[in-house]
Structure 1
């Protein structure tokens, strides 16, 4: 997604806190030919508004202002903490320091398993969490198979961004770091939504800052469970994985979205700097060797896992024969076995997406009727019998799958 400085992005402020107003505006902007990618309820929306549509958008009901440049905080001081947080993150996108991070990414184009860089964590459930499904990317989370809140990436998604801090200064975030986190996460998810406009992905954010009484120095058994369960308890939920699942489901209902997941960002020590398993992503602020400037791409990568996509870099030990996502599509761009591997967000630190990842996310239209397969009630057109026969033969011989989906 282009940064605000590109001139095509706009931040819209509403003059009402009515629950329906933001989603109504999303539909109205789309009808005009624009697009809203991010909503910070109840008042702030960010999207792609072509200059020629600006006057029409400003004339819509409940639109208080439309901004394309840095915003003075004094202008929105009375609009509540959610609006202030969203505007601070927007302003951070214009800062010279953040732009410098983006212009000189040291890991640009490198494999996520590149030597000298910390690898992300594998897709696997936390201890004691069971799931149905062949693999973690397509798993239904929770004991006994709880409701999947991120089956495929189509429609509106609740993003529960939780910044978890400790009492010690080493585990806290400064105000600027908080703004950077929101800006980075938003940039990564904005790019992801922009890859396939037909999926109509809009992210609805709720950002929470939680401080827990936890310290790795005094707890030999310190783990993610330690701080995550404490954070859930502070949010009024059971201090358990089940509490997290319930929280994510509740936020989907409250925000009226199709899907929901959580992103935890912390400075507490982690077993990997980034990892995901439905319904949560965990990010270490310092990103190990990658750096905070790559949090946007790491967020996009991990969110793809949440919606069913598989790793494709060689160090992940991927396998072209394994199937992932709601549509159970083979992992045909795996570096270890693809006839022709192409760079992809699931294999490299790059803004690119391969056809297999698209299919894992649900972005496939098998019968060409303009409706993605997960939403299509019409029978999917079957491929000729001889293609399916060849695929089975190749699998039996242990060969890579054909390129077609």
Structure 2
């Protein structure tokens, strides 16, 4: 297919604004990309990497993505055909007005994001009662215990994860379901009604939280897929209750149990406890998105509420380790303009971070997360503490939080330990040894190796999990250079946690050492696996060294050993011409044979290699 070159004047028209904007002070310039139809997240990430840019978040239903990188650099996506427009400033009103509802919401959110509060200035005190330790997983839904014990092999789940393991450590790709709950007034009077402006502010907060998390953990490879379900237009996000008029009651039956359960049933999750339903929704989302993890965020409109809190004082909280976060739009005194700060804090809880502010009654010795990180930055008599997202909501992390969310880099090489485990590989020789045709057929298995899970909490089954993928298998012969050439994946591509591979080598005569090693998508390399194979060369003829002598009436044949010979065949006939059709009268492994027969005889000796191939004869 021919690809037309995009004229420079058209590029300038499609790149809205004249230069990149370092949006809200969040590091490198952030831009909004309107995707071409059919552009997948995988393709977009490849195209961005090729231009030294990164995906921050993609909104599939809207067909837009938030990217980190200079506007001029990202604008080159237009030439690739992956994008139709790159926005560095607010979307023109005419563009947003003409867009379908999901895209209009995403464009309005981008404008709100650019115009929003950066999070500076005075902020309220710490969050309150916002980290909820879930019950042990086997007590949440006893009827699914047997299923929970069997890790799934679903292609899109991280290696080793089951459906319950939806947010084990804060690295890789994360799906967010933003559920903007709307009361239909059928049980409780409806006191809150979402407006398009409020919806765009919530999505803008998700943009900002995603950008902050990526900036806070640059070596974690974070990116987000965001789905928005506005109850104003989506019946699945509606409830017969008015959430803000009730207590949150997260551990009881009078609040979250009512509206979360009802909404999840409308999404198709009608059995099990609300935590089980929510986790299954998160799992189904990541399977559909091809992401590593997923978190659900239930947002209650509180604009008309006096204090922006639920009836029992809650305004934002998360179940530690997932599966969901609950927030109000006002978030007490934080306000909707700083909702991003609250959301990034709560998402840390979803990945097992504990609170560090004194009012949370934090415990210095408490441990949490995949790496069992202790709460050393807790304000309650734990010694020196530092600014941290879990202490004062700063866009900063501290060693205690880093370890709790699973991102400790113990050797300081720039890669978190959970992403540093080298893969393992096995190598098999599938053809005969020795090889008679000069070909050696190899196959093997390359597999990622999860870093051990030491989580002391039991929110989900404690499984060793890896989000890494095999990226390549290399082979070499007799200590030569490593090469990927000729190594093929059984499924057509090296992109999964377990890959079967094969390669056929053409080798010269002799014994050869063949090695294989695997490399994952973070550059970790396995120890090599090796096999040896012998290639049989054709035996050399006996040649002129053949002699015949009479010794006591016996004909004695002797010859020099022939290179590559495993044995020798002796032919005898009454005349030289008859040797052409003769059959062997003997086969010997040594270059010496005695013939006690009588009468005139003519002889021919051939060399035979280990594969049974016969050389030219010597008469």
TM over 0.5: yes
Aligned-pair CA distance for 1:215:
4.3
Aligned-pair CA distance for 1:87:
0.9
Aligned alpha-carbon RMSD (Å): 3.0
Q: Which residue of 2 aligns with 1:267?
A: 301
Matched, 1:340 2:384: yes
Map 1:242-391 onto structure 2 (within 5 A): 242-267=276-301, 269=310, 271=312, 272-277=314-319, 278-377=322-421
- Equivalent residues of 1:39, 1:46 under 8 A apart: yes
Q: Which residue of 2 aligns with 1:37?
A: 56
What SS is found at the alignment partner of 2:333?
coil
Map 1:199-278 onto structure 2 (within 5 A): 199-209=220-230, 210-215=237-242, 222-238=254-270, 240-241=273-274, 242-267=276-301, 269=310, 271=312, 272-277=314-319, 278=322
Matched, 1:130 2:172: no
Aligned-pair CA distance for 1:180:
0.9
Structure richer in strand, relative to its length? 2
Map 1:140-219 onto structure 2 (within 5 A): 144=145, 147-167=164-184, 168-209=189-230, 210-215=237-242
- Equivalent residues of 1:327, 1:360 under 8 A apart: yes
**Highest RCO, 1 vs 2 (Cα 8 Å, sep ≥ 6):** 1
Deviations along 1:153-185, whole A, 9 cap, x unmatched? 111100011011113442321111111111112
Aligned-partner Cα distance in 1 for 2:333–2:229: 26
Aligned-pair CA distance for 1:76:
5.5
Aligned-partner Cα distance in 2 for 1:214–1:314: 34
Pick one of 61, 83, 89 that aligns with 1:69: 89
Aligned-pair CA distance for 1:343:
1.2
Q: TM-score, normalised by structure 1?
A: 0.80
Aligned-partner Cα distance in 2 for 1:362–1:52: 35
Q: Which residue of 2 aligns with 1:387?
A: none
- Equivalent residues of 1:141, 1:148 under 8 A apart: no
What SS is found at the alignment partner of 1:346?
helix
Aligned-partner Cα distance in 2 for 1:89–1:177: 9
Unpaired stretches in structure 2, ≥5 consecutive residues: 1-20, 149-162, 231-236, 303-309, 423-448, 451-619
- Equivalent residues of 2:36, 2:81 under 8 A apart: no
Aligned-pair CA distance for 1:60:
2.3
- Equivalent residues of 1:105, 1:294 under 8 A apart: no
What SS is found at the alignment partner of 2:219?
helix
- Equivalent residues of 1:105, 1:293 under 8 A apart: no
What SS is found at the alignment partner of 1:305?
helix
Cα distance change, pair 52–12 in 1 and its aligned pair in 2 (3 A) = closer
Aligned-partner Cα distance in 2 for 1:212–1:267: 12
Deviations along 1:74-110, whole A, 9 cap, x unmatched? 4356654332221111111244xx44x8454443xx4
**Which stretch has the larger CA shift, 2-11 or 184-193?**
2-11
Deviations along 1:286-326, whole A, 9 cap, x unmatched? 21132222211110111001011111111112122221111
Q: Which residue of 2 aligns with 1:22?
A: 41
Deviations along 1:314-341, whole A, 9 cap, x unmatched? 1112122221111111111111133210
- Equivalent residues of 1:22, 1:45 under 8 A apart: no
Aligned-partner Cα distance in 1 for 2:140–2:226: 22
**Which stretch has the larger CA shift, 223-232 or 361-370?**
361-370
Cα distance change, pair 63–141 in 1 and its aligned pair in 2 (3 A) = farther
Aligned-pair CA distance for 1:359:
1.5
- Equivalent residues of 1:232, 1:238 under 8 A apart: yes
Cα distance change, pair 4–44 in 1 and its aligned pair in 2 (3 A) = farther
Q: Which residue of 2 aligns with 1:57?
A: 77
Deviations along 1:225-258, whole A, 9 cap, x unmatched? 1111111122222164122221111001001100
Aligned-partner Cα distance in 1 for 2:318–2:347: 8
Number of aligned pairs? 358
Aligned-partner Cα distance in 1 for 2:282–2:353: 20
Aligned-partner Cα distance in 2 for 1:66–1:267: 32
Aligned-partner Cα distance in 2 for 1:54–1:186: 18
**Which stretch has the larger CA shift, 164-173 or 148-157?**
164-173
What SS is found at the alignment partner of 1:12?
strand
Aligned-partner Cα distance in 1 for 2:383–2:340: 29
Q: Which residue of 1 aligns with 2:104?
A: 84
What SS is found at the alignment partner of 1:176?
helix
Cα distance change, pair 165–259 in 1 and its aligned pair in 2 (3 A) = same
Aligned-partner Cα distance in 2 for 1:166–1:256: 32
Aligned-partner Cα distance in 2 for 1:83–1:71: 11
Q: TM-score, normalised by structure 2?
A: 0.53
Cα distance change, pair 54–249 in 1 and its aligned pair in 2 (3 A) = closer
Q: Which residue of 2 aligns with 1:137?
A: none
- Equivalent residues of 1:189, 1:299 under 8 A apart: no
Deviations along 1:355-378, whole A, 9 cap, x unmatched? 211121122222345432123325
Aligned-partner Cα distance in 2 for 1:311–1:5: 26
Structure richer in helix, relative to its length? 1
| Higher Rg | 2
